[in-house]
Amino acid sequence: MRESHFDPADNELLGRIKKMPVFDAMDADMLPEVLGRAMVRRYGAGEAVITEGDADRIVYFLVSGSCAVSVDGTDVNTLSTPGDVFGEMGFIEHKARSATVTAQTPTTCLTLDGAVIERMKGVETLAAQALFHRVFAEILAARVRHANARLLTLENELETLSVQRITF
């Protein structure tokens, strides 16, 4: 992994970031304040971005590339859309990572450390925290809806298998 501070003169990267939902919702004063605390991380294919069980408060915004998400060694998702967010649970609840995220291709992420955001001064701190928490709540709600749909599918499959087994 290579890490560097976000460079506001990098117009290509800045343009990509401004298109991401969390950042395009920020006002012109807040965006430079938040991005001034951001880091850019670049990963090679096969490199771990997040490791299940590790603890930190960093949230990741996918700029380019694709990543596999796995839990207990089982692939559960792929992240490949610029603006995909991961690591938000650690940002919110300060607990061990619940999944491993591995770069499948060369991958670039913008990262923010929750502890750094909390050190911002004044109204910007509260506004940034509120915005991030709102976006993270939307992401988590979508994941719960997806998990519920998957659970219903699995319950139906289990019911079908149970009925088939009884009729033998």
- What is the pTM for the complete model shown? 0.83
Percent of the chain with pLDDT over 70: 93
Residue 167 has what pLDDT? 55
CATH of the domain at 19: 2.60.120.10
- Mean pLDDT for the chain? 87
Q: What's the pLDDT score for residue 34?
A: 87
* pLDDT value for 165: 64
**Number of structural domains found in the chain:** 1
* Lowest-confidence region among 24-28, 58-62, 121-125, 130-134: 121-125
Is 62 in contact with 79 (CB distance < 8 Å)? yes
The pLDDT tens digits for 107-164 are: 999 999 988 777 776 666 677 777 777 777 777 787 788 888 888 988 988 888 877 7
Provide the residue range defining the domain that includes 127.
2-166
pLDDT at residue 166 in the model: 58
For residue 71, which of 89, 45, 97, 32 has the smallest C-alpha distance? 97
The Cβ-side half-sphere exposure at 34, using a 13 Å CA radius, reads 28
> Does 41 have pLDDT greater than 80?
yes
Average pLDDT over residues 93-98: 89
Tell me what pLDDT residue 32 has: 86
Share of the chain above pLDDT 90, in %: 49
Mean pLDDT of 35-57: 95
Of 109, 54, 111, 51, nearest to 79 by C-alpha is: 109
